[in-house]
Amino acid sequence: MSTEPSVERQLFDLRAHTEPERHEPHERRDAARNRVLLLDAAHRLVDRDGVAAVTMDAVAAEAGVGKGTVFRRFGSRAGLMTALLDHTEARWQGRVISGPPPLGPGTPPLERLLAFGASRLDRTIASADLMAAAAGRHGRSGPAVAFWTVHVRHLLTELGVTGDLPLLAMALLAPLDVTIVSQQLGAGVSRERILAAWTDLAERVVAGR
Amino acid sequence: MSTEPSVERQLFDLRAHTEPERHEPHERRDAARNRVLLLDAAHRLVDRDGVAAVTMDAVAAEAGVGKGTVFRRFGSRAGLMTALLDHTEARWQGRVISGPPPLGPGTPPLERLLAFGASRLDRTIASADLMAAAAGRHGRSGPAVAFWTVHVRHLLTELGVTGDLPLLAMALLAPLDVTIVSQQLGAGVSRERILAAWTDLAERVVAGR
DNA sequence: AATAGAAACGGACCCTGGTCCGTTTGGGAC
DNA sequence: GTCCCAAACGGACCAGGGTCCGTTTCTATT
């Protein structure tokens, strides 16, 4: 038996928390209550006035807690934004792991890879400002990126691509990053054109085994 | 005759300002003087205490001018950082346009492309924190990126690559961006490995004409 | 040389992210 | 039910980016 855990297992371990309870073992009641209070408040602010209006003071006030609490729960504004993203991200990851084709399993790998790229692009576009705000000063990080790369690496393996798969996967993901996509959208490039170019790129990478 | 300007002409127009004088036609003497005062001060601070120490107040104080002046000259901290980068960037662009091989002309296109990637990677690593600070909230922008893409697009053309060259060029550049590279370095990936993976990517893109 | 007005100046001021620390509270042990 | 303390709380406080506006300084023009 292999000493390497299966890809499915890796992906599962990397999944974002769908269930709000999945946190530190003994989180005190007040802490848990305030977490959902804050998350709700932040969501409300985003919906009502946009990401820019989500100031740490505003969230604290809207949730009716002290500012210090917001920072203890989420560490920083970027952390809060990441938490906001986490909810939909977890659902999306679920669809990738076990949802219907072509994003989910039961699809030829290339088709699945292309569906993955299209879906990521759409997610990036849909919550560009949240993602930009979630990226701390030291670039993006965290489990979400790890999930994406592992998945792409897996697909590349299935396609028989050889080489430094982890880095190749990142290179494939890079053009779908908020910074790049936002810049292109800002320059008037359409979603369709971005997608077509990315598809082209992916096919070239796959073609050269 | 073509209505499209030559690539050389395009690159020239995109070049960063090497000469300090190349600015608005009638810049007042005091304004010009303060610009170099501020740039010098900022450089000194970077060298002495690192990018993090380059606070707008600190720069103003070190230059002996008011804080408002810093903002009028450079617009924002990101703008100041961009200006700091501009100096070395201009010299580098000069080497790309008319320097010695393999970066400069007189080299087979593929070799030149690979040299370009290696050189960009090294520049990204060398001034990662400056570049991170120069990237405003809305991702990177400005003439530097335009220069890179035009150059890569040009090389791809010479290589006979077909497709959406501008976007393909950006996709090739994306993995060399500060955010991505910093993340990889932070994860313990070596410069050599990043370069190897990028070279692989570039060759795959070129291989599929 | 005098003048006018455009441009630049400077620093007080505001806003927001992030820290600190004295106070309160939840919940396990007895 | 009481006690205890680790954990959580909250808001005063600080630092740094960015704005504003009354004052000063250039420079073109006469």
Tell me how crowded residue A66 is: count the other CB atoms within 10 A of its CB: 12
Express each pLDDT in A49-58 by its tens digit.
999 999 999 9
Two tokens at A158? 């299935």
Percentage of residues in chain A having pLDDT higher than 70: 91
Two tokens at B92? 């580098």
Of A6-15, A141-150, B199-208, the poorest mean pLDDT is in: A6-15
With contacts defined as CB-CB under 8 Å, which chain A residues touch B189?
A: 167
pLDDT of residue B9: 78
Q: CB B203 to CB A208 under 8 A?
A: yes
Q: Is B50 on the interface with A (CB under 8 A)?
A: no
Q: Does A117 or A23 have the greater pLDDT score?
A: A117
A138 is near strand C: CB distance < 7 Å: no
For chain B, which residues make up each domain, given as ranges? 7-16+76-207
A13 CA → C7 C1’, Å: 61
C1'-nearest nucleotide to the CA of A29: C26
Q: CB A197 to CB B171 under 8 A?
A: yes
Q: Is A36 on the interface with B (CB under 8 A)?
A: no
pLDDT of residue B8: 76
Place of tokens 């505003």: A58
Please give the mean pLDDT across all residues of chain A: 92
Express each pLDDT in A58-107 by its tens digit.
999 999 999 999 999 999 999 999 999 999 999 999 999 999 999 999 99
Of B167, B179, B198, the CB nearest to A140: B179
> Is residue A74 packed enough to be buried (19+ CB in 10 Å), middle (13-18) or exposed (0-12)?
buried
Find out whether B204 and A205 touch, Cβ atoms under 8 Å: yes
Query: What pLDDT band is residue A137 in, cutting at 50, 70 and 90?
Result: low
> Is residue B64 packed enough to be buried (19+ CB in 10 Å), middle (13-18) or exposed (0-12)?
exposed
Q: What averages of pLDDT result for each successive group of 10 residues across chain B (209 residues)? A: 70 68 74 97 97 98 97 97 95 96 95 98 97 81 91 97 98 97 96 98 92
Percentage of residues in chain A having pLDDT higher than 90: 82
Express each pLDDT in B27-51 by its tens digit.
899 999 999 999 999 999 999 999 9
Query: Which residues face B61 on adjacent strands?
Result: none
The 3-state secondary structure of chain A reads CCCCCCHHHHHHHHCCCCCCCCCCCCCCHHHHHHHHHHHHHHHHHHHHHCHHHCCHHHHHHHHCCCHHHHHHHHCCHHHHHHHHHHHHHHHHHHHHHHCCCCCCCCCCHHHHHHHHHHHHHHHHHHCHHHHHHHCECCECCCHHHHHHHHHHHHHHHHCCCCCCHHHHHHHHHHHHCHHHHHHHHHCCCCHHHHHHHHHHHHHHHHHCC
pLDDT of residue B23: 57
Measured CA to CA, the distance from residue B54 to residue A202 in angstroms comes to 41
Which residue has the closest alpha carbon to D24 C1'?
Answer: B30
Q: CB A193 to CB B167 under 8 A?
A: yes
Find out whether B182 and B157 touch, Cβ atoms under 8 Å: no
pLDDT of residue B20: 53
Measured CA to CA, the distance from residue B154 to residue B169 in angstroms comes to 9
A57 CA → D13 C1’, Å: 14
Measured CA to CA, the distance from residue B208 to residue B187 in angstroms comes to 31
**Nearest alpha-carbon partner for A105 in A183, A23, A32, A7:** A7
pLDDT of residue B202: 98
With contacts defined as CB-CB under 8 Å, which chain A residues touch B193?
A: 164, 167
Q: Is the pLDDT of residue A13 over 80?
A: no
Average pLDDT of A23-39? 88
Find out whether A136 and A78 touch, Cβ atoms under 8 Å: yes
Q: CB A179 to CB B184 under 8 A?
A: no
DSSP label of B105: S
pLDDT of residue A15: 72
**Nearest alpha-carbon partner for A8 in A86, A78, A96:** A96
Express each pLDDT in A110-121 by its tens digit.
999 999 999 999
Q: Is the pLDDT of residue A184 over 60?
A: yes
Residues whose CB falls within 8 Å of the CB of residue B43, separated by 6 or more in sequence, listed in order: B84
* Backbone Cα Rg of chain A: 19
Find out whether A167 and B194 touch, Cβ atoms under 8 Å: yes
Average pLDDT of A3-31? 71
How distant is the Cα of B207 from the closest Cα of chain A, in angstroms? Answer: 7
Find out whether A90 and A15 touch, Cβ atoms under 8 Å: yes
Q: CB A170 to CB B184 under 8 A?
A: yes
Measured CA to CA, the distance from residue B72 to residue B86 in angstroms comes to 18
B63 CA → D20 C1’, Å: 22
Query: What pLDDT band is residue A196 in, cutting at 50, 70 and 90?
Result: very high
